[in-house]
Structure 1
């Protein structure tokens, strides 16, 4: 019904327009000051100055006709009502029906849109006034259905249901709780610490020496940090010193090999330094790799030349799985060997190494001791990097393989402190360092002289992977320091005894 009413009113308006168009009466609209209309096409101004007399021909006649239609439509419609509807944005958009009429001018099209909007609005108002009761009934019905839906979805349990739930029997454990009582731990801190010490002494038989009064406690400020394990750290390092004595590397252990020599070993480890850099592995992985190679070559005699590289990449493969968060794939190690071996070869060698070493890789590495000694010396990061450089050079050198990791670390940090500080060795190697390392200056002095000789001759050596590695700015370029070519290191290398 509403649609039919709109069509009738639209037809009536079009008929009126056609009637006025056929009469061809020229009507000049009067000027109204300050009257503007804002429509869908922009802001329009009705103060149009018409100088129709100047124009001649069809253009003048056509303009007069369109002006006449616009003025008639504006007079027929309540202008205040149209103005309010358009200003409030209620004028309908895109309501012009397609027709065969020619396109209207801007003033005429806007007026027609406004008139049609007013007609539809009035018709809608009449319909709503005629059927108020029907609207109320539909609204009430909609509200009632929503209330019913809410009641169905949000039904709360009654008081009776809550009581029944409380009366339900509690679940019964299938297993007895006798064993659970043994899991109780005493809240007394003293008893807990005593239990921990008893367990630690039973398992490892650790008898950590007590701290003398004149020695600084370097762990005193770390009791609030659980990551530094200040409660157990002294016992841990004492246990590591026992492990390095349990798994020693004998001096000149390659004498049992018929093919492999010290130079071949140095060439292998120098190449593994490049592999470590290429894969961006941590330094712990490299140190553990060298330890696995030395232990395996010491246990297994008659390793052939074509198997040495396989032993090296397999040892790094095992060490990377032991130390790295994301270990390289076995295919990566096959690639670095230029496909000289297959994945099956590496897996078979891995089984052989693990079996021969008794599934134990607990032998400590020099880097673990080095960190402890740098802390005891209150050294800088530069001291630490230089000491790591010395240790890595020693790992490549076959003549240094039989020294304990702690012995190499103590000698390296002492030499680093001596070269960078310029102080005498007696002042550099303090009683605190001697206590925490377990070595006196007389113990580490021969190793320091050997390290100094290796550093001086590194530029003449064929194995320069470690030297090139420590030219990196992230490692403070310690291999290029001027102190490594100064008088102090030459005197140390050429002297027989410093004490």
Structure 2
């Protein structure tokens, strides 16, 4: 459930919405431009719960229509069965229809790390550095987590439609994706001049506007995926609900939520996270904070589906556990009840390096299979 859909629901019920002009902080720190960056199980329990040249203007590859079939239909592209809805009864719609459409987006909005094969001059670390910078820009302009994750999804899907993009175009593509995402999600998105400013002269306003048209056409204007963070927020909300409570009203601990989203942020910066569906990625993150039975209940996913992602995520969990826990930050002009939804930045590149180190150690310590062993005489 996105933040904007929540606002629309409340308006439909004639709720009073306070409107006011949000002013930017005059003393806001400046996000460092990407060109200045190097381009190269602890358990928590929720309260009340058991435990980026040549740009080809082509439609997105592999996009189909949402299938309006019963919830038992098999999504053959990923071979994941749509289980009966775990959503509670909704006062504003049919929970079965909502669930089928949400899961159907996993088939419509395809993503894959195979896009790297189409761009020989792009390395996985370049994507990580770009996304880390976008996280920093998001915090500077107090953008919501959903805005960053929309930008990440637009970037990965756009790159899947292109061939041989030069690494010098990545920052332009990235900031344009954030520009589009801001207009989709934010009530008061940053001005075009502000986003051009944070690139420190690397991208100009007219370039961003031109790139915006290219990206929108390449994505065929499909701009409303269910992102990892939207799945995660839904799962946590369902796990925290009391009987007869409203699904749209947050009932989980903000402090716990920022801990969980820190792990998700770190994972999404890794190119290998694109091996998994967003709902599987979000549920696997939650498996490291809640009992599996609770995760299975709110996600409808079996352990056989979750285990590969949970195992892949283990070094990320160990790395996050070794450093200071994420803190809930206060932001000027952001209401206390919304501060956990603001995207925050940490030294994710350093954390990713630590994860890579742990993965290498694990590979070295893993003995070869019997067929790989050589006999010595």
- TM > 0.5: yes
- Equivalent pair of 2:143/2:182 in contact (CA under 8 Å): yes
Give the match's secondary structure for 1:244.
helix
Q: CA deviation at 1:447?
A: 1.4
Q: Does 1:387 align with 2:260?
A: yes
- Of 264, 276, 300, the match for 1:438: 300
Q: CA deviation at 1:435?
A: 4.7
Q: Could you state the TM-score of these two structures normalised by the residue count of structure 2?
A: 0.60
Q: Does 1:257 align with 2:119?
A: yes
Alignment of 1:228-377 (within 5 A): 229=92, 231-377=93-239
Q: CA deviation at 1:249?
A: 1.3
- Of 266, 269, 283, the match for 1:396: 269
Aligned to 1:219: 88
Distance 1:355 1:321 in 2: 16
Alignment of 1:20-99 (within 5 A): none
Q: Does 1:416 align with 2:289?
A: yes
CA change 1:321–1:283 in 2 (3 A) is same
- Equivalent pair of 2:286/2:295 in contact (CA under 8 Å): no
Q: CA deviation at 1:459?
A: 9.5
Deviations 1:14-38 (A, max 9, x none): xxxxxxxxxxxxxxxxxxxxxxxxx
Distance 1:304 1:240 in 2: 34
Distance 1:403 1:450 in 2: 10
Distance 1:208 1:433 in 2: 19
Count of equivalent residues:
256
- Equivalent pair of 1:387/1:412 in contact (CA under 8 Å): yes
Distance 1:337 1:410 in 2: 34
CA change 1:339–1:216 in 2 (3 A) is closer
Q: CA deviation at 1:368?
A: 1.8
Distance 1:248 1:217 in 2: 23
The unaligned stretches of length 5 or more in structure 1 are 1-202, 210-214, 224-228, 418-427, 461-466, 481-489
Distance 2:256 2:301 in 1: 19
Give the match's secondary structure for 1:401.
helix
- Equivalent pair of 1:285/1:323 in contact (CA under 8 Å): yes
Aligned to 1:24: none
Q: CA deviation at 1:473?
A: 4.4
- Equivalent pair of 2:158/2:215 in contact (CA under 8 Å): yes
Q: CA deviation at 1:434?
A: 2.2
Distance 1:347 1:459 in 2: 41
Q: Does 1:471 align with 2:334?
A: no
- Equivalent pair of 1:369/1:409 in contact (CA under 8 Å): yes
Distance 2:292 2:102 in 1: 22
Q: Does 1:429 align with 2:292?
A: yes
The structure whose RCO (Cα within 8 Å, separation 6+) is larger is 2
Q: CA deviation at 1:307?
A: 0.7
The unaligned stretches of length 5 or more in structure 2 are 1-65, 73-83, 242-251, 331-339, 348-357, 367-377
Distance 2:329 2:215 in 1: 36
CA change 1:327–1:397 in 2 (3 A) is same
Give the match's secondary structure for 2:152.
helix
